[in-house]
Amino acid sequence: MKKRAPLVVANWKLNGGTDLICTSVASFLTKSFKAEIGIAPPYVYISDMVSFLRNSAIMVGSQNVSKFASGAFTGETSAQMLKEVGCGFCLIGHSERRQVFLENDASCHTKIERALTAELMPILCVGENNQQHELGLTQDILYRQLHQALPGLELQGKRLCIAYEPVWAIGTGKAATAEQVQQVHEYIHQELVEILGAEAAGQVQILYGGSVKKDNAAELLAMPNVDGLLVGGASLDPEHFTQICSIANDVAP
Ligand code: 13P
């Protein structure tokens, strides 16, 4: 049993559409969850999702946010806009954004500030790639990502999450073991204490993402420093995702 409700977030990435929204919403609305659930569809579906889920506790969020507040930035969406259409959180610095769209720790820092100002909960994604993993550089990479993105934030009364997503585990079916995840989450917590202070660090939930399925969700959530899950592929199957959420219910207080 956890001290607080685990957070399970679905990241649809560039997938889904009206059909998936309807089947997902139908599946969510038949259940009541003790775990906290979030769903991040592509931007254009956020408003629909918010209106379908308006009578539920399920949070809707975005997969990204602009580092700019407003102006001549074609194709961008600001934190304030996301808040206005009903988002509760946004993912920041997902490894696909870092790899494909060349985002860096400095832009993550700005995006987190924008999100906090707009009262969106940022979920900062961090993690090492396969080569870094093989070379034993996991802690060095996380140290850089955390120490560059997090210092100087005004967190009073605000919520922040970290998602540890080892790149080698994303979409590969090769999830990190529960013991590996526990060890890394402990390290992340230790660095959060250094950067934010013990009190603020104690409020930060640390999620794991990377090939989470209904078969490994329970053992991951059983780890003391795993406060939730960030689910990609398995969240595109509403029944599968709902099962993961039910597993999270079992460890909710
Ligand atoms: P998979 O669950 O498909 O491995 O994706 C994880 C992820 O990137 C979630 O943000």
Q: What is the C-alpha to C-alpha distance for residues 109 and 61, in angstroms, rounded to an integer?
A: 18
Helix (H) or strand (E) holding 25: helix 18-29
Closest residue by CA, ligand 1 atom 9? 232
30-62: per-residue pLDDT in tens?
A: 888 999 999 999 999 999 999 999 989 999 999
List pLDDT tens digits, range 215-242: 999 999 999 999 999 999 999 999 999 9
Q: Is 228 in the pocket of ligand 1 (CB under 6 A)?
A: no
Enter the tokens of residue 121: 């909960």
CA-wise closest residue to 48 among 38, 32, 60:
60
Q: For position 44, what pLDDT does the model report?
A: 98
User: Nearest Cα to 176, choosing from 233, 127, 224, 140?
Assistant: 127
Q: What is the CATH number of domain 36-237?
A: 3.20.20.70
Mean pLDDT of 16-39: 93
Q: Are 153 and 167 in contact (CB under 8 A)?
A: no
The answer, yes or no, to whether residue 3 has pLDDT greater than 90, is: no
Give CA–CA dist 166/214, Å, rounded. 19
**Per-domain residue ranges for the chain?**
36-237
d(C-alpha 66, C-alpha 60), whole Å = 17
Residues 6+ apart with CB under 8 A from 156: none
Confirm or reject: Cβ of 211 under 6 Å from ligand 1: yes
The answer to whether the CB of 145 is under 6 A from ligand 1 is: no
Whether 195 contacts 221, CB under 8 Å: no
Active-site positions read: 94, 165
The arithmetic mean of pLDDT across residues 8-30, rounded, is: 94
